[in-house]
Structures are given as structure tokens and as C-alpha cells.
Structure 1
Amino acid sequence: MPHLLDNPVWNALISGNKPLDAGSAQVKYFADDVSPFAGFETFTPQAFDLLHARVPAERLLGVVSPVALAIPARWEVVQHMAVLQMVQERPPAVGALEGPPAIPLGPAHVPAMLALTRQTNPGPFFPNTIAFGHYEGIFEGNELVAMAGQRMNPTPYAEISAVCTHPDHLGRGYAGQLIQRQARRIIAAAGIPFLHVKSTNTRAISLYEHLGFVARKEMSFYIIRKNPA
């Protein structure tokens, strides 16, 4: 039986993220102001055709697969990335987290969140990505300098996402603090934390390993749009 995390987008949109599904019974995706990801029960040409019929020409979409895909010619592959999927199998010992307080982030913080993600590029972040919930941030003065939240929720797994720190504030442990807070929240809700990281991002992978995350599988992330040809 396939692992839930082999097809995280589809399994999230039929379980923990079902309220955010903007697709149909055959093809599922998030609203364009929430996330670019689209999911299929099976990665068939027919499934890609169904998606093609439902989305506007200009929309960029993300597809996540455990294997390399032959994307149909009706689609243009804008980007293909090798991404490591990691699961927290050995949470650090529970203890007090050091550092400045983490503040829950709400709609009023969205401009600051968008500004931070533009500077750090942790992955796609849109005006309503906050709908996934549980975002927290660290401020220095009035400036948001680090944040993390959750994204795909293929129950019981919950993805820690949008982990980012302003370049001027690196090395202070903010990312580790925020990841641990998210992981503890997920575990307290009887979930299992996981995340995705570019396979080339050795600095982040080292941090995640230190926090008890173990590489599960290398995944293929595709950014696609309708082929104008």
C-alpha cells in the first residue's frame, strides 16, 4: 500500500486540508491565493487533462511526486526540483525553549509575512496562505524577522512550512525555536511532523537532523502551467 506521504497533496486535500479544496472529486487543488499545489489520486495523462480544463492559462501549479513524471505536452514545466522529504522520528527532549517570544500571526501580519518571504524565498507564499493556520513569528522591534507555520496536512501527518529568517538575523536559533514549537503543537494534536527541503540546502538539512528529522524520500516538485504553444 502506498505511503500517505508519497502523494501528500492529494492525501492532504481529502483529509486535513479538505476545507481548502478548490477542485473537484477527480482533481484537487488549493485556491490560487492559498497555495499552488494540485493533487491527483493517480498521476495519469487523464488526470492532467482534467486539471487543464479547470484552471486558467496563467496559473502556476505545483505537483509533488515520489518519482520523476512525464508531464504531458499540454503543460510547460517551469521548474523541476529535487526535494528531500523528512519526518520527525526522534523529537528532542521536552524542555523550555530559549529565545524571544513567538507571536501568533494573523491577517494583520500578512504584509510583513509577504515581505519576509520575498527576502528569504522559503517556497510559495501568497496573501491567503495563512489560511493553513498556526503561523508564528519572532519580531525585533516592529520588524518580523523569522516565522514558521504549517501547510499540507495528510492526516495524521502535518507539514511544517514557510520556515524563514531574515538574512540579517541568521545564527540566533530562531528557525530551530519556531520549528520545535510547530512540532510540539503537531505532536500534542496526535500528529506526526514532516517537512520538505531542497536536496541542495545542506545547512537546513543539518538543522532538521539536529531536531530529530530523518530523511524519508527524495521527491520531485514540478512547477507547471498550461503550454502556450
Structure 2
Amino acid sequence: MSAVELDARVLDDPFTVALRGPQAGLARTVGRISTFLSDVSVFYGHPRETTAQDYTDLAELGGPGNTVSLRDRRTPLPESGFTSVATFDLVQYRGDAVTPAADPELVELTVDDVPEMTSLVELTEPGPFLPRTIEMGTYLGYREPSTGRLLAMAGQRLHLPGWREISAVCTHPDARGRGLARRLVAAVAQATVDAGDAPFLHTTADNPARGLYEKMGFTLTSEVSLEILRVE
């Protein structure tokens, strides 16, 4: 798929597009606010210009004591109802110029692998990975040939029209420096292209992996804030 055929406008609000479109079956919605099922993913889709009613709906979806997220918020928070927990610089790259590459040494991971995948994520902290996150797309892993231990993985998270997000890229400390992340990203990109889509990804502004992504041909599309709020 060439860049000319792609509609990059959907990347401007990827959470809303995914939740209201290809992944609506994994979503909960109240008014103009949507979020994934609580055991699938943590992200919320919302208008940039949020109203008082939107914040009421956001609190209803999140529930008291739980956290919610706002991407690229353009209007003030209400004076009460939410407590700020953290703010990240969320960086987005498009990967339609990346060279995909299948890799026969990688294996497709299944629901039976989720406990081991979760342990690897908890050790390496690439971002949220919940019990049903694997339902969002294809996940590939590299297992140590001698022991079968899962040493690295990556997969697909958000699905937009024409695009699939590469996510959960992580490598066990024992296996770093062996090029596994590059191989996994290229292989997930291949699975994405084979399905007729183009890859994109998110990371944080301070992630050293940005250098790898840029060398692979990913190009920067946006850098916005991602706020984590606790519902009072």
C-alpha cells in the first residue's frame, strides 16, 4: 500500500477512530466518550474540545478511584472530579516507508502465552498490557531455542482504517543487544502489510528506542500530551 492511498488524517485522533470504528466491538461508550473494555486496554477516545457533559461521561466510564486518560486535551479540566496522576509526551510515528520482513524464527503468541507475556511486560515496562490485550491483533515472540523462554515480543494494538499500531515492543534484559526488537518490529510490520494495512506506533518522547524506529524508516507525525487522571 502506497502512502498516496493512505488516509493519514485518522492518525490525528487514533483512540477515537479505533474505538468508534474497527475496534468498536471492544469498546464501552457513554455520550462522546469511549474506552476499551477494562481488561483489553486503558485508552480513551474523546473530543479535543471537551464539555462539562463530556467530563461527566468520562467519570462515569472510569468509575470512582480508577484512572482515565486524555490525549491532546484542549479545554480546561473541571475544578473538581479528577486528580492529575501523570502526564506523558506521547510521540507518534507512521511506518508506511518501513521495510517489512517476515522472520521464521519468531512465533505467533496466543492466549495461552499471556501469563508469560505479562511477566515480560512487567519486567521491561513497554506500556500497558492487560489480560485481553492480545485480542487487539497479532503478537509475535522470540523464544530462546534451548529453553523455550520468551525473550522478546511485539504486536498490534490500535486498528484504524488502513493502519495498525505496533505495540508492546520489549526485550528481556538477558537478550538485549541482539537485534530482536528490530526483527520483531519488521515482522509485525510484515503481518500488517499482508493484511492490507500500514504500520504506525506510539512511544514516549524520552524513549531511546526512537533512534531504532527512525533508522527503520518510521517518520514523526505528532507529539502530544497524554494525561492520566484519577476519578474522585
Calculate the TM-score normalised by the size of structure 1.
0.89
Q: Which amino acid aligns with 1:185?
A: A
Match of 1:60 in 2: 67
Distance 2:78 2:148 in 1: 47
Match of 1:218 in 2: 223
Distance 1:130 1:32 in 2: 13
Q: Residue 161 of structure 2: SS of its match in structure 1?
A: coil
Distance 2:105 2:77 in 1: 45
Match of 2:106 in 1: 102
Select which of 193, 201, 205 maps to 2:199: 193
Match of 2:141 in 1: 137
Q: Which amino acid aligns with 1:128?
A: R
Does the 8 Å contact 2:102/2:190 carry over to 1? no
Report deviation, 1:118: 0.5
Select which of 73, 81, 92 maps to 1:85: 92
- Seen in structure 2, the aligned counterparts of structure 1 residues 20 and 96 have a Cα distance that, compared at 3 Å, is closer
Distance 1:147 1:80 in 2: 26
What do you get for the CA RMSD once the two structures are aligned?
2.1
Q: Which amino acid aligns with 1:195?
A: L
Report deviation, 1:159: 0.6
Report deviation, 1:127: 1.2
Select which of 148, 156, 159 maps to 2:162: 156
Select which of 193, 206, 209 maps to 1:204: 209
- Seen in structure 2, the aligned counterparts of structure 1 residues 44 and 90 have a Cα distance that, compared at 3 Å, is same
Does the 8 Å contact 2:48/2:74 carry over to 1? no
Report deviation, 1:72: 2.8
- 1:112 and 2:116 aligned: yes
Q: Residue 177 of structure 2: SS of its match in structure 1?
A: coil
Does the 8 Å contact 1:8/1:64 carry over to 2? no
- Seen in structure 2, the aligned counterparts of structure 1 residues 58 and 142 have a Cα distance that, compared at 3 Å, is farther
Distance 2:220 2:74 in 1: 18
Q: Residue 186 of structure 2: SS of its match in structure 1?
A: helix
Q: Which runs of 5+ in 2 are unaligned?
A: 1-7
- 1:50 and 2:54 aligned: no
Q: Residue 153 of structure 1: SS of its match in structure 2?
A: strand
Q: Which amino acid aligns with 1:63?
A: L
Q: Residue 12 of structure 1: SS of its match in structure 2?
A: helix
Question: How many pairs were matched up?
Answer: 222
Match of 2:131 in 1: 127
**19-28 or 120-129, which deviates more:** 19-28
